[in-house]
Structure 1
């Protein structure tokens, strides 16, 4: 079951709990989990109430048969739509899994992530799902660590992982490694890259260098640019004149790739490569220069089904990151089968060699606490994307 932080004040007398209904989601590029995410539009429709049979006294209910799990996401402020969409997805996962062992309480990190963590721990939660932003993870981590409560964050910032913090976000380096390895397997030898001067760009650059070396390719040039049309065009022109290059990685949004590719190809045709930022950009196929480009991302097959159910329930399209909320609950429910209520969360179970499955395919955590994901490679076509190298289904 799910409840909000505000609802805790209403537990002075027995009542049935109302599951939270929140907003929605559509990923525009969650760069290093620290930038603002654009809002979706349209009203949210709350889910119907679900009956609960708890004995309730002052404060929070006392659960002897269920696990208390905290969900820390922004429910107000700039990123409220993203946070509420993740919360909606956790509600859907609770309903779909039909679990009776897990109770999730939502805490608003926009009011202060550290304060939300302290309240969650004081309320008896033994696992924290979230936060969303890397700076919030940094604030929550020492508080949770002192209480021996693990954190399963939705951030994609690998620098905040470890020492009790696990991140589920889509780490850009994995997408870069996957698409470079695929390109090398198809005969591409000489590589170049266009990367923005952002945290995302820096991490993509490091991953690109390592991936080219690991694949046995040759790194010809990497050009970086400030986020302006003039700087992007200048970097693309420099790369076009850098010498013979077989494949070019553009570690940026689909819109910037569309602007850069004609310039990159002005000195000769090249295989264009992209990252997970492209997997929700329907405009890519509208550019003739982009057709035939490859990018790596998590599989969208099951996500399409989740998005359809979400639209039916809440009246609008979810942000792409909603799947992280859904999958975090599936993971929790799986571990809850052998987790005794009232005891500490069995954190070693997160390191299971066979990993976990979910909306975004299979994944497992490495010893740094980073979710390693099975990714597919897709090709951009006039009618959309076509999977040309499916994601593995087992480790």
Structure 2
């Protein structure tokens, strides 16, 4: 389950430089460090020479199989799927974590990657046996549920890449992009532009239910009025039925489509033909990976919130140069999680668990995806930008905040 290769900094202490104290614009200005292979087990001890009668030989030291002992490094486990259907995403996150370690100088940190596809709980147990003091991952919510109680026994925090807020808390922190983050931001921006009456179309299933609740909460905080929230049934007939019911609820100034850009593109023309045809269309973070939204004229002018891609585009170029392929968009989570570990590791004694108070630093952290911090719930609060869909792509209409001051 443990990968054979772990990246770590091999330069002497005077050459190490940590990047966490720098702004996001300096993330890629660091010199690259080296890599070290960590064997799956230690070599067998050498046979002692024949005894010498005139001098008693001291006993050979005991050699313990597994990772070498660390006295000046924190052991950090990256728990991701390396086999199976999600192997591509998992490997991309692991590769980005390696890049972050190299870019940051990696002083005092050793990373080992474990495959959760063969059993998340087993991977976590192996990571604990190897002495890891912080878990980065898993990716899937069901794997987080399996890993959390294992980590809790040793008071090891879990910084997961999932976006399922139901698994957060009690030592589990979520790095994933959640609908609540983007919906809150875009509703707040819409309110600042004079929008008062909101409506929503939400996908069926868990995502849609959470997006619907996030919309209710966001509109309440903004002081606006929520006219209606309507689930979207799959298929053309289901979409038309949902829009008909939404239009019957009353006029609205903006309507959230909490689903993919593809679904939004099919819904937008029907919305434009209704009594609230001039309403501003709003989207979620799901739209951020779809570059051709503007091909549909009915979506032009729509707003949605997402992390800035400025630093991710630089990461993508460096990733492609090193690994010969483009990273998945979620690779940034692995990169930023390692930056977090390097920074927090500076205030933690080697061999000790990472304390919750350090992970909950209210001043936040900065990474490829901008500023973020963990709320008391364990869910990341993110500084997002608001984009507007245009014929040629998107434009930023409200930049992301640089920090939480």
- Shorter-chain TM-score: which interval? 0.7 to 0.9
Report the equivalent of 1:343: 352
Of 282, 285, 303 in structure 2, the residue corresponding to residue 294 of structure 1 is 303
Size of the alignment, in residue pairs? 357
* 2-structure distance, mates of 1:276, 1:361: 15
* 2-structure distance, mates of 1:236, 1:89: 42
* 2-structure distance, mates of 1:6, 1:308: 25
2:199–2:254 CA contact under 8 A, matched in 1:
yes
The alpha carbon displacement at 1:64 in A equals 1.2
Report the equivalent of 1:217: 224
The alpha carbon displacement at 1:73 in A equals 0.3
The alpha carbon displacement at 1:228 in A equals 2.8
* 2-structure distance, mates of 1:318, 1:232: 33
Q: Please give the secondary structure, in 2, of the residue aligned with 1:388.
A: strand
* 1-structure distance, mates of 2:307, 2:349: 33
1:252–1:277 CA contact under 8 A, matched in 2:
yes
Q: Structure 1: which 5+ runs fail to align?
A: 8-16, 21-46
Alignment of 1:94-109 (within 5 A): 94-109=101-116
Task: Find out whether 1:329 has 2:314 as its counterpart.
Answer: no
1:240–1:266 CA contact under 8 A, matched in 2:
no
Of 49, 54, 59 in structure 1, the residue corresponding to residue 66 of structure 2 is 59
Which whole-Å deviations, capped at 9, do the CAs of 1:86-105 have from their partners, x for residues lacking one? 00100110111111311111
The alpha carbon displacement at 1:242 in A equals 3.2
Task: Find out whether 1:307 has 2:307 as its counterpart.
Answer: no
Query: CA 1:191–1:53 in structure 2 vs 1: closer, same or farther (change >3 Å)?
Result: closer
* 2-structure distance, mates of 1:53, 1:235: 56
Alignment of 1:316-395 (within 5 A): 316-395=325-404
1:86–1:326 CA contact under 8 A, matched in 2:
yes
The alpha carbon displacement at 1:215 in A equals 1.1
* 2-structure distance, mates of 1:226, 1:52: 51
The alpha carbon displacement at 1:140 in A equals 0.6
Query: CA 1:286–1:345 in structure 2 vs 1: closer, same or farther (change >3 Å)?
Result: same
Alignment of 1:24-35 (within 5 A): none
Task: Find out whether 1:165 has 2:165 as its counterpart.
Answer: no
Alignment of 1:116-135 (within 5 A): 116-135=123-142
Q: Please give the secondary structure, in 1, of the residue aligned with 2:386.
A: strand
* 1-structure distance, mates of 2:236, 2:156: 45
The alpha carbon displacement at 1:247 in A equals 0.4
Which whole-Å deviations, capped at 9, do the CAs of 1:29-53 have from their partners, x for residues lacking one? xxxxxxxxxxxxxxxxxx9982469
Query: CA 1:124–1:53 in structure 2 vs 1: closer, same or farther (change >3 Å)?
Result: closer
Report the equivalent of 1:25: none
Q: Please give the secondary structure, in 2, of the residue aligned with 1:279.
A: helix
* 2-structure distance, mates of 1:146, 1:232: 48
Report the equivalent of 2:23: none
The alpha carbon displacement at 1:286 in A equals 0.9
Which whole-Å deviations, capped at 9, do the CAs of 1:160-185 have from their partners, x for residues lacking one? 11111111111211211111111111
Greater C-alpha Rg: 2
Cα RMSD for the two superposed structures: 2.1
Report the equivalent of 2:251: 244
The alpha carbon displacement at 1:310 in A equals 1.2
Of 183, 202, 210 in structure 2, the residue corresponding to residue 203 of structure 1 is 210
Of 81, 91, 100 in structure 1, the residue corresponding to residue 98 of structure 2 is 91
Q: Please give the secondary structure, in 2, of the residue aligned with 1:328.
A: helix
Of 152, 155, 162 in structure 1, the residue corresponding to residue 162 of structure 2 is 155
